[in-house]
Each structure stands twice: as C-alpha cells, then as structure tokens.
Amino acid sequence: MQHDTSGKAGSEPHLAIEAIDLRKSFGATRALDGFSLTVAAGEVHGFLGPNGAGKSTTIRALLGQLRLNGGECRIFGHDCWQESVAVHRRVAYVPGDVALWDGLSGGESIDVLMRLQGGGDRRRRDELVDRFELDVSKRTRSYSKGNRQKVALVAAFAKDADLYLLDEPTSGLDPLMEEAFQQTVREIKQSGKSILLSSHILSQVEALCDRLTIIRRGQTVASDTLEQLRGRTTLQVLATTERSPEALLKSGNVLHLVSEDVGGRTKTSFQVPPTALNDVMPVLVGAGLTGLTVAPPSLDEVFLSNYREGVEPEPEPVASAR
Amino acid sequence: MKGLARTTGVLLRTMWLWVVVPAVVIAGLVWSAAASIQDMYPDEAHRLAYAEVVTDSVAVRVFQGRGYDLTSIGGIFAQETAVVILFLVPLVGVYVGIRFTRWLEDKNYLDIITAGTISRLAPTVGGLCCGALTCLLASVLSFAALVASGYDTVGSALWALALLLFFLWAVSLGALAGQLFRNSAEATFAAVAVVIGFYLLRSAIDVRSWDAVWSTPLSWLAETKPFAETPPAWPYLLFGAAIAGQALLGIFFATKRDLGGGMFAASAGPREAGATLVGPRTLLLRLVRGATLAVLLAGGAVAFTFGFFAKDMATDGLTARIVLLVQLNAIVAAAAGVLVSMAFSREELSGRTGRVLAGLPTRTRWQANGIVIAFAAVITTQLALACLSGLGLSLSLDDWSRFGEALRSNAQQLPAALLIAALSLALGSLDARLPALAWTLVAWAAVVALRADMLQLSEGLRHISPVEWTGKVPVDSWSATASAGMVAVIVVLMGLALVVFRRRDLAKG
C-alpha cells in the first residue's frame, strides 16, 4: 500500500538512508542477501561493487520498485515500499541505463521528468542544460548514450531534492562532462544534500565521496571512509638490507615476500598490514637496513581486494621467497 | 557476400516465428476458403449465378477487384479470397520485410554483429532472404491446400506463384522502407500508407473500369488470371521487375546510410515541453495518440465504405451485412484498446515506467491512467466507426433512421470490445510481456465474425468470442444480461489489475 504522506517529517531523521538486512531473490538468484547500508544526512556516499553484486537492485528497492523478501528499508524515516510517494517527494534519481521517449525532444523529456517528480527550478534547468552542453531540440531517438544520460542528470539535478540516488550516472559521458558532473555534485554537497553514488569510476568516488560501501554477492563487504579502508589494506614495502632478512619468513603478517641479491645487498619486497609494520621494522633494522620505501595501497588495490571472490577485507598471510 | 549465411542463420534462429506464423495463417485462410467454396458452388448453375451477381456489384469491385473466369471454381476462389488477400498479404508483407531487415538494428543488436567480419550488406540481404522464405512457405502451403481441396493443379500452381510474387512485392517494399527511414515505426507507417494508396487506386480503377490495371501491384494480382486457359505473362513479369527494383534500391540505400539512421535527417523538436504535457495521463495520451489515430483513420475509412456499399454486398441479406459491420467495428475498437495496453506495457519493459514511478505518481494512479486511456481509445474508436458506418448506410439507403440504429447497435457491442481490452490490461498487470496474448482473442473474434459459417464452427467455439455474447444486434434483440455480466467481469478484472500491479516488482527501472 502507498501513502501519499507529507514530504518532510517534523523531526528530521539523522539518516538519509537506513537499509538493514535487505533480502531479495529473483527465482533461485539471491540478489540481496542480508545487505545493509546507512547514509547520513548531508553525506556523499559511494556505492561500489562488481557487476551483478546488487547495486541496482538496492537502488530499485530504495525507490520502492521492488518488493523485498526481508529487511527494512527507510529514506528519511519513510518506509520505501509503504510510503514510496513520500520518499519520492524528497528523492531525485538518475538510472544507469536511461530510456527516453522516442517521439519527444530532449527538452520535452527533461520537462516531463521534472513535472513527474513534482517540478523543479527552471533557471537551474537551463543552467544545467548549458553546463552539460545538451542540444535539447534534438529528438531523443537520435541521442547517444551520453546525451540520454545528460537528460536524466539535468532533470534530476534541477530538482531541489534532499537525496540524490545516482546509479552509474556518468557512464557514457566524456571527461569534460565528467568534470561538469563533479562540479554539480560538489555544489549539491555544499548545500547539505545527501547523495548515494553508485559508480565504477574509482577516481570519481575518491574525489567526491565522504564514505563508501562495497557490496559483493548481495552482502556488505565493507562500509567506511576511504582512509579507513586504505588502513585495512596492506602496505607495499620495498627494503634494501645488508643481509637477507630471514626472520620475515616466519612472520605471519607478511604477504608476497620476494627477495633477491643485487650487488652484495638484499632487495626485499613484501606487503604487510599497517598494524603489523611495527613488528617487521626490527627485523629489517637487524638485517642492516640501508633503504626503505613504504607505499600506501592504491585505490585500485583497495577496491580489488574487496571485489575479489573469496578475498576477505582482512588479509590471509602467505609468504614466499626466491 | 561475407557473413550472409551467418546473419541469415541468426535471423532465422531469433525470429523463426516470423517465418512460420504468417505463412501458416495465410495458408490456413486459403485452405478454409478453398474447402468452403467447393461446397458452396458445386455445379455450373451455382457458378453462373455467382458470376452474374459479382460482375454487376460495385461493392465487389471496391473490396475484391475485377474477377476473371468466374464460372470456374478456381476463378470463384481467386475472386472470393481477394477480399482478404488484397488487404492482409501486403500489410503482413511490409511488416515482415521491415521486421527482418530493421528490427535488429532498432534494438541495437546489429552494431555488435556488423562489427564482426561480415559484409555491410549481409544483414539487409539476409533479412530479404528470410522474408522470401516466409513468402515461399506461404505459397507452398497454399498450393498444397488448393490441390488437397481438389483444385486444378496447374491453376493452383499459378495462383500460388501469384501469391508468392504479391507477398514478395510487399516484403521488398517493407525492406526498402526500412532502409529509407530512421526506424521500424516510421518505415511501417510509410509502407502502410503506400499500400493503402495502391489499394484506393486499385478500387477506383476497378469501379470506374479504367484501363490502367498496370499502374498498381494490387491490380496485377487479379490480372495474373491463374485459372484462365492462357494466363498472361505480363503481370508475373511486372511483379518480378518491381520486386527486383525495390530489393536493389533497398540494398543501394543500405550502402548509403548510417547504421541506426535513415536517408532523411530528423527534424528538430521543441526545446521545452508544452503546457499540456504535465502528468502521467497526458504523457500516456501523447504516447498512444499516433497508433490510435491510425486505427481510427483506417478503420473509419473501411467502416464508411462498408456501410456505403452494404446494400450492394447484401447477397445474403442487408441485415446480415449490418450485423457483420457492427461486429467488425467492435473488433477494431478492441484492437485499438489492445494497442494502447501494449504501449502501456512497453513503457514498463523499456524501464520508463520505473523512471516515472521514481517521481510522484503512485502505481495506482499510473495504472488507472493506463486503464482510462485504453478504455477511452475503445469507446472513441467504436463511436467514430459507428458514426461513419451509420453515415455510409444512411447515405446509401437514403434512410437516416439507419444512423441511429448504427449508433445503438455499436453501443450494445461496446462491452465486448471493452472486455477484450480489459483482458489485455489485466494480463499486463500480471506481467508486462503478456498483453499481446489478447490478440488471439481479437483474431478469434474476427475469424468467428467472418468465417464461422464457412468453417461450420460449433456454438461453443463461436462463443469464445465476446462479440458473440451480446447477440447479433441489430437483428437479434440485445442481451442486457450478457452486457451486464461483461461489465461486471471488466470491473473485477480492473480491480484485480490495480491490486496486482501495486504489489509486484516492476520488470525494469
């Protein structure tokens, strides 16, 4: 049942999105298997995961398009299924695969979408059309994927929403438009609005998001700030010592250990969790440390370590030597 | 041509139904007509009487064209089937032609296929080959049906050849339109307009007995004279030339246009939406207005012409023709409702309904608007066809009481048309892929209305068609009970549709 209750609640909930233990199956396929997500009001939240992990299913559940098999799903305190219209009053949405009406022009499509979501700011609409360099007089059937995406972005950002649900919003956009997108998101962030940004573009997530959640196989793998996630991922260490640091072989925290003799010295590379760095330093110093480089994990490494099947966020120690 | 076999194979694997179904439907109609005509005109006397009636009838010339060899059973068969063949085969043909040569491209599947090691022309030529296969299958099955029904073998072979060529002409016209225009919808609209133009030209030539049968392919069909002692060669040759010309032009344009485009540039649209395009209802109206208007125009033209010539066609009584006219109006109105229902479901399958429902409209409001617009399309169509057929009847009989009678009879059939549309909407509320199933009921209603006597259908089979439930108005008295029952079923179906749609997952969003 849907209740068209008033949009803004009297006492503003602290959380923009509160999804707990979401479960959704399509036949034998479990799309969401106990997934949880919280997005604070005023936060830009990255939503990451491999293809088919359950990102779009989550967003469709948040919009009340899918009936969950279990779990609780609320936006600003409103139940996403029972009170979908109250939710939609405060939400703007950009789908990943934008389907538009062939017979309408781009301008007509933007206006129709704006009117369906309760209106919008016309001056803002025109400003966004200019910013995204969209020819609104063209029929949408002649639009490229990028231009269709721009229509959805302009229609969503022209709405003064409290929460923006963006499902891979920049797929198909060129780098200049990507910059325009990031500028718009920053403006929205400055005005205190919340954004859930599902994306595969890691640099975009790094540039825009306060926190992020990683989903895999319908389950939460990690949910934290990027810095915290980096802290949980292994550091890359390259050390030059006078002798071979044999004791490292015995350390349970060292991963991918490779040593080789170069000009009478031993060059050793390995990975180690940040918390274990203190343990390995005495071993390196004891072996006559003459050079040391410690690199934080790249963004790609952070995500890949969480994306890979069977790889848990916390590393399993494996050591090898040559 | 590199990749032709592979492309043709892909088309046949993915669209084999488009080869089989049109061929089987056409051959089925041929078989039913062939068998019944044998029974209806068993001897010389019956055939002579038929020839006399047909030769003098203006209505027959309008709908069936000129007849030849009408004292032979083959000639009568060719003349009697012309009413269906002249209309059905070109329409099915252009649709098959466009479907095979353009559909993959419209769905964006072709980009990935043509990115492989295949010739640029392979999809177009492969589509033409598949279309030709459909024609060949229809022709072979029809030939078998004729021979099995005891018709002259040589005449049957020539009639089947004429059918093959006529069908191929329509398929190649569709293929040509598919290369000229930017998408299937535009191509279908243009090709159907050409077919209707040729149909009207043929009607005028036949009614006025102009010596211009060479000017339209719809006249060439009768001119093939398959059951004559010495059939002329020129119609067969003209068909061959037209088919080759259209196919080659289609292939030529395929080399000149962009993938996903046509030969004509798209016109610019408005930069802003008009003030009327404000909510789900106006949006839905905008989406279905083209298809509804096309049904209204085509159905209206047929209804007026049918009404106007009903007196001339009344070999089995004027009232029987009026009953048929009212039933056909209801079937066309039901078809308009099913078209709207399918357009509504297409919105969901494309993901646009999900986008709409991410805004403020509730599911109930969206679905209710779909129901209202589908029913409005049915009522408007039935009312317009009632007025036009009543006008034709009144003008022809110089009796304006016929106008009121037509309005009343059509209104009495309205619940049947609404019921078929309601069924389609209810199926769509269960699953967005299901509304097309309602076409089987529309088709069955048409078979019962047009062929029930010829096919000697039992009462039970006839009453599967809701159009039969009301009674044969205006001849029989209207059954208020049946109409009230249908309205009750419609109300229940729509109530269930609203509840089910509100509670289920959207197909895409």
Is B440 in CB contact (< 8 Å) with chain A?
no
Residue of A nearest to B278 (CA): A115
Q: Which pLDDT belongs to residue B314? A: 59
**Contact, B353 vs B504, CB < 8 A?**
no
Buried b or exposed e, range A275-286, using 16+ CB within 10 angstroms: ebeeebbebbee
pLDDT score of A317 more than 60 = no
Q: Which two tokens stand for residue B498?
A: 């609203």
Q: How confident is the model at residue A248 (pLDDT cuts 50, 70, 90)?
A: confident
Residue of A nearest to B499 (CA): A1
Q: Where are the alpha helices (DSSP H) in A103-225?
A: 106-116, 122-131, 145-157, 175-190, 202-208
Question: Across the interface, which of A93, A95, A137 has its CB nearest the CB of B268?
Answer: A137
Chain A residues with CB under 8 Å of B270 CB are 105, 107-108, 137
Q: Which of B108, B357, B367, B502 to mutate to test the interface with A (most CBs of A within 10 A)?
A: B357
Rounded Cα–Cα distance for residues A135 and B506 (Å): 31
Is B509 in CB contact (< 8 Å) with chain A?
yes
ipTM for this model: 0.78
Q: Per-residue DSSP letters for A89-127? A: HTEEEE-SS----TTSBHHHHHHHHHHHTT---HHHHHH
Rounded Cα–Cα distance for residues A157 and A13 (Å): 23
To the nearest whole Å, the CA of A226 is away from the closest chain B CA by 30
pLDDT score of A3 more than 50 = no
Contact A141 B182 (CB under 8 A): yes
Chain A residues with CB under 8 Å of B352 CB are 99-101
**Nearest CA among B446, B448, B455 for reference residue B37:** B455
Is B115 in CB contact (< 8 Å) with chain A?
no
Rounded Cα–Cα distance for residues A84 and B377 (Å): 30
Rounded Cα–Cα distance for residues B199 and B180 (Å): 22
Query: Which amino acid, one-letter code, is at A208?
Result: L
Instruction: Count CB atoms within 10 A of the CB of residue B63.
Output: 22
**Could you give the C-alpha distances from B38 to A320, B41, B149, B456, B470, in angstroms and in order?**
91, 6, 8, 14, 32
Rounded Cα–Cα distance for residues B167 and B12 (Å): 19
Question: Across the interface, which of B183, B273, B363 has its CB nearest the CB of A107?
Answer: B273
To the nearest whole Å, the CA of A153 is away from the closest chain B CA by 13
Q: Which pLDDT belongs to residue B466? A: 95
**Contact, B373 vs B281, CB < 8 A?**
yes
Question: Across the interface, which of B355, B362, B504 has its CB nearest the CB of A4?
Answer: B362
Is B262 in CB contact (< 8 Å) with chain A?
no
Query: Which amino acid, one-letter code, is at A289?
Result: L
Q: Which pLDDT belongs to residue B207? A: 83
pLDDT score of A315 more than 80 = no
**Contact, A248 vs A268, CB < 8 A?**
yes
Q: How confident is the model at residue A310 (pLDDT cuts 50, 70, 90)?
A: low
Contact B505 A66 (CB under 8 A): yes
Is B28 in CB contact (< 8 Å) with chain A?
no
Q: Which pLDDT belongs to residue B305? A: 86
Is B209 in CB contact (< 8 Å) with chain A?
no
Q: How confident is the model at residue A7 (pLDDT cuts 50, 70, 90)?
A: very low
Q: Which pLDDT belongs to residue B313? A: 67
Q: Which of A84, A98, A116, A136 to mutate to test the interface with B (most CBs of B within 10 A)?
A: A116
Q: B486-494 long-range contacts, Cβ below 8 Å, gap at least 24? A: B486/B415, B486/B416, B486/B418, B486/B419, B487/B415, B487/B418, B489/B419, B489/B422, B490/B415, B490/B418, B490/B419, B490/B422, B493/B422, B493/B423, B493/B425, B493/B426, B494/B371, B494/B422, B494/B425, B494/B426
Question: Across the interface, which of A100, A111, A152 has its CB nearest the CB of B277?
Answer: A111
Average pLDDT over residues B102-120: 75
Chain A residues with CB under 8 Å of B278 CB are 115
Look up the pTM and report it: 0.81
- pLDDT tens for B429-449 read 999 999 999 999 999 998 888
**Contact, B435 vs B421, CB < 8 A?**
no
Least confident of A37-51, A87-101, A271-285: A271-285
**Contact, A41 vs A220, CB < 8 A?**
no
Is B289 in CB contact (< 8 Å) with chain A?
no
- pLDDT tens for B315-358 read 567 888 889 899 999 999 999 999 999 999 999 999 999 999 99
Residue of B nearest to A167 (CA): B509
To the nearest whole Å, the CA of B353 is away from the closest chain A CA by 10
Highest mean pLDDT among A163-172, B177-186, B469-478: A163-172
Radius of gyration of chain B (CA): 24
**Nearest CA among B382, B467, B154, B271 for reference residue A136:** B271
Q: Which pLDDT belongs to residue A314? A: 40
Rounded Cα–Cα distance for residues B345 and B436 (Å): 10
- pLDDT tens for B122-180 read 889 999 999 999 999 999 999 999 999 999 999 999 999 999 999 999 999 999 999 99
Q: Looking only at Cα atoms, what is the longest distance across chain B?
A: 72
Contact A2 B267 (CB under 8 A): no
pLDDT score of B116 more than 90 = no
**Could you give the C-alpha distances from A83 to A58, A65, A163, B51, B414, in angstroms and in order?**
17, 12, 16, 72, 38
- pLDDT tens for B253-305 read 988 887 777 787 777 888 988 888 888 899 999 999 988 998 998 899 889 98
CA B246 and chain centroid, separation: 22
Q: In the A/B pair of chains, how many CB contacts fall below 8 A? A: 121
**Nearest CA among A176, A139, A296 for reference residue A230:** A296
**Nearest CA among B478, B476, B475 for reference residue B319:** B475
Rounded Cα–Cα distance for residues A13 and A77 (Å): 6
**Nearest CA among A179, A10, A4, A191 for reference residue A89:** A4
**Contact, B127 vs B16, CB < 8 A?**
no
Chain A residues with CB under 8 Å of B360 CB are 85, 88-89, 116-118
Chain A residues with CB under 8 Å of B506 CB are 60, 65-66
pLDDT score of B89 more than 90 = yes
Rounded Cα–Cα distance for residues A151 and A60 (Å): 20
Average pLDDT over residues B31-35: 88
Contact A97 B352 (CB under 8 A): no
**Contact, B445 vs B331, CB < 8 A?**
yes
Helix (H) or strand (E) holding A49: none
Q: How confident is the model at residue B223 (pLDDT cuts 50, 70, 90)?
A: very high
SS3 B24: helix
To the nearest whole Å, the CA of A63 is away from the closest chain B CA by 6
Residue of B nearest to A111 (CA): B273
Residue of A nearest to B279 (CA): A116
**Nearest CA among B98, B97, B298, B93 for reference residue B185:** B98
Q: Per-residue DSSP letters for B402-460? A: HHHHHHHHHHHHHHHHHHHHHHHHHHHHH-TT-GGGHHHHHHHHHHHHHHTTTTT--HH
- pLDDT tens for A30-81 read 999 999 999 999 999 999 999 999 999 999 999 999 999 999 999 999 999 9
Find out whether the peptide bond into B474 is cis, omega within 30 degrees of 0: yes
- pLDDT tens for B367-407 read 999 999 999 999 999 999 999 999 999 998 899 999 999 99
**Could you give the C-alpha distances from A295 to A261, A267, A285, B328, in angstroms and in order?**
22, 16, 18, 80
Rounded Cα–Cα distance for residues A230 and A157 (Å): 31
pLDDT score of A190 more than 90 = yes
Q: Which of A112, A148, A163 to mutate to test the interface with B (most CBs of B within 10 A)?
A: A112
Q: Which pLDDT belongs to residue B363? A: 95
Instruction: Count CB atoms within 10 A of the CB of residue B439.
Output: 16
Burial class of A100 by CB neighbour count within 10 A (0 to 12, 13 to 18, 19+): buried
Q: Which pLDDT belongs to residue A1? A: 42
Helix (H) or strand (E) holding A15: strand A15-26
**Contact, A59 vs A70, CB < 8 A?**
no
Is B500 in CB contact (< 8 Å) with chain A?
no
Helix (H) or strand (E) holding B466: none
pLDDT score of B110 more than 70 = no
The angle at the Cα of A191, spanning A189 to A194, to the nearest 5 degrees, equals: 45
Q: Per-residue DSSP letters for B196-257? A: HHHHHHHHHHHHHT-S-GGG-HHHHHHHT-TTSSS--SHHHHHHHHHHHHHHHHHHHHHHHS
Contact B270 A139 (CB under 8 A): no
- Provide the residue count of chain B: 509
Question: Across the interface, which of B183, B280, B355 has its CB nearest the CB of A95?
Answer: B355
Contact B354 A102 (CB under 8 A): no
Helix (H) or strand (E) holding B264: none
Q: Which pLDDT belongs to residue A141? A: 82
Q: Which two tokens stand for residue A15?
A: 């959380």
**Could you give the C-alpha distances from B73 to B29, B154, B156, B158, B164, in angstroms and in order?**
17, 13, 11, 15, 21
**Contact, B473 vs B369, CB < 8 A?**
no
**Nearest CA among B186, B217, B163, B183 for reference residue B101:** B183
To the nearest whole Å, the CA of B292 is away from the closest chain A CA by 15
To the nearest whole Å, the CA of B127 is away from the closest chain A CA by 23
Contact B360 A117 (CB under 8 A): yes
Chain B residues with CB under 8 Å of A88 CB are 357-360
**For all residues of chain A together, what is the average pLDDT?**
87
Is B256 in CB contact (< 8 Å) with chain A?
no
To the nearest whole Å, the CA of A140 is away from the closest chain B CA by 9
Q: Which of A84, A94, A108, A126 to mutate to test the interface with B (most CBs of B within 10 A)?
A: A108
Q: Which pLDDT belongs to residue B343? A: 94
Residue of B nearest to A140 (CA): B269
Upper half-sphere CA count for residue B85 (Cβ side, 13 Å): 31
Chain A residues with CB under 8 Å of B264 CB are none
Chain B residues with CB under 8 Å of A91 CB are 358
Q: Which two tokens stand for residue A289?
A: 């440390």
Contact B280 A60 (CB under 8 A): no
**Nearest CA among B469, B172, B501 for reference residue B347:** B501
Helix axes B318-350, B438-451, angle to 10 degrees: 170
Residue with the larger pLDDT of the pair B399 and B58: B399
